[in-house]
Structure 1
């Protein structure tokens, strides 16, 4: 095994930002473990990419997180963990006072508890200096009508990331707001609207690589604020 070859685990890699980042890492020589709920979509998304290991399943399922940890262990550990898998909730987004609590509970399971559970499952496999990227949203930092459910879950994720960084200085924990993108989830958030003016997820990847490859301290970042050099 080539110990110099960097390794990553990316959740929610069947589409959107997760798929775009996976492709970039794989084509740059990384070995990447990926997951998504639908195995056929995941396989199609990463077909032809070198060094990608698919582990389909629901990140909210503890047994699936164990499977991911075993795949990471087979690679000898991780240099990068990308907590990208998310659940929007109802579409269109309801006011918080009308949000069905059973659905909100599932949103929290996927967006908050699952990322923490994955960090717990992988803690012994994250090498010193490993990067953890937790993908958030402006809704996690701003109070916006109609975004109380999803936004509060991202706010909780952001705080988890901040505390993990304080408790684990051997890692770099980056909470990243990628901005609006032309994705399925974004379309679900704005049903019936034309979102063709939003940038493709691939345009955000260079900003993520600034954090992955650079020496930025732990903290919250907006992709739009990261300086990308040639």
Structure 2
């Protein structure tokens, strides 16, 4: 509900997708220059990403933060069609102008290969394989929050294509203390000429909550739009 002419309007929206209803929190500024869709990590939810979405919306973007299948209020089990949930939201938000997809970890990988006009991957899960230590950490810390399992996660990642990104339309952000496999993949992108921003002292689990990350995301959005 709008409080005054300078406040954000926040509303719950359900978008009909491919076999799933995609729950969205939509943040609308008084004046909008375009749109952004925010996607969470494995075991995450739209509520966890709401702080990032709020900071983006404050800079003048109609912003939607979603629950991917298997997560939060999305009632579908996690499976290889998870990208379609993000694409469903992107299609919906095109009515508000060009769309940037912003995602963390799993959401970052999905964002980078989506049909959005621009993409920002925060600690994107781009590795083809993850070692036993990383898999064990995910199993202990994240599995209980998902309608699925770590086995479903890696099966899903195997079904999500890795493609070439347009360096002009992509930003990669990673933490200096990120997951080793993610650091390695981001370093490859740096060598290939992509813009990769490192956030000092950031961990994989907190990078999307930090002020330097907010600043990197909003600075890039201002440039693109």
- TM bucket normalised to smaller: 0.3 to 0.5
Q: TM-score, normalised by structure 1?
A: 0.43
Higher strand share: 2
Q: TM-score, normalised by structure 2?
A: 0.44
Higher helix share: 1
